[in-house]
Amino acid sequence: MHCMISECKMILKTAILMTVVLCLLVSSSVSLYAQTAVSAEPETVGMYIDGAAYSGRAVLYNDTTYIDLFEFSRAVYPCSTSYAADTRTAQLTGEDITLTATDGETYISANDRYLWCPSGVFTDGSYLFVPLRVAAKALGAQVDWNADEFAAYVTVTGNGPLAHASDFYVEDELYWLSRIIYAEAGAEPFDGQIAVGNVVLNRVREEIFPSNIYDVIFDRKYGVQFTPTANGMIYREPSEESVIAAKICLEGYSISYEILYFINAALAENFWVPQNRPYVMTISGHDFYS
């Protein structure tokens, strides 16, 4: 009798285990199928260029309208095009524009300026998609969104592509902003580097801080504000990624216009900021405060 009870318990345990495994497999399959379905069938967006219906692809991804770069350029500012399959990089070349976009990156480069694409650049079959507003800015067009029609209206300004980096960035600003980003966040993820640059530029706009990038970085009115200015790390040559992050910040892109302070709690010796300022967010090793 004791053996029969033991065998029954063993059979029951096995049945329960098999049921749990089966449920997990079914759940996993449903989740994978849903993800594939969403990726395969993005929502189509209506689009017009100078009043005429756009015949190319325009799709919604992460609440952002995306277009195929080559199709869009043919309609707005015709260029010669090329695609390097080994690096998955598309290039447009025209009289006043050199633009590159790489699958998987979070920015495009146009005339050595860097335009941020937080949801990334991606491919779908033979199409390479970039955000509509980013492509429009690069190629000299304006975008207006009509929510009622679920459509984007693009107007070609006639001013041509955006100005070259040498005519846009202030050399001294780029020099110091890229260095403080590298010194403070060179080991952080890319959005963490952008956030550090945002802190500096947000301070420039605030009356209680100095009104330019250099003076904000070297501000000591209430003690050293950025440790690299005291230990000499500010003078290190920045990485290419930190320079790109600085350029993105100088383009006006921001993760948060609120953040004015950041701290690495694991390394900090002074905790005035978390004790006195409102917390906003954390990116990797840095906590940011307003």
pLDDT tens for residues 150-184?
Answer: 999 999 999 999 999 999 999 999 999 999 999 99
On the question of pLDDT at 13 being above 80, the answer is no
**137/209 same-domain check:** no
Mean pLDDT for the stretch of residues 121-135: 94
Decide which of 166, 199, 225 is a domain's last residue. 166
Residue 140: CATH number of its domain: 3.30.457.10
Decide which of 124, 149, 166 is a domain's last residue. 166
Q: Range of 83's domain?
A: 43-166
**91/155 same-domain check:** yes
Tell me which residue of 216, 201, 217 sits closest to 257, measured CA to CA: 201
Number of structural domains (the chain) is: 2
45 vs 265, which has greater pLDDT? 45
**153/217 same-domain check:** no
In a domain, 20, yes or no: no
C-alpha–C-alpha distance, residues 135 and 161, integer Å: 10
**197/127 same-domain check:** no
Mean pLDDT for the stretch of residues 130-151: 97
In a domain, 220, yes or no: yes
The model's pTM:
0.84
Q: Identify the residue whose tokens are 């495009």.
A: 108
In a domain, 38, yes or no: no
**127/184 same-domain check:** no
**162/174 same-domain check:** no
In a domain, 112, yes or no: yes
pLDDT category, 128, cuts 50, 70, 90?
very high
On the question of pLDDT at 34 being above 80, the answer is no
**125/196 same-domain check:** no
In a domain, 218, yes or no: yes
Per-residue pLDDT at 41? 67
Mean pLDDT of the chain: 88
**88/134 same-domain check:** yes
In a domain, 7, yes or no: no
Share of the chain above pLDDT 70, in %: 86
Per-residue pLDDT at 266? 87
Per-residue pLDDT at 223? 87
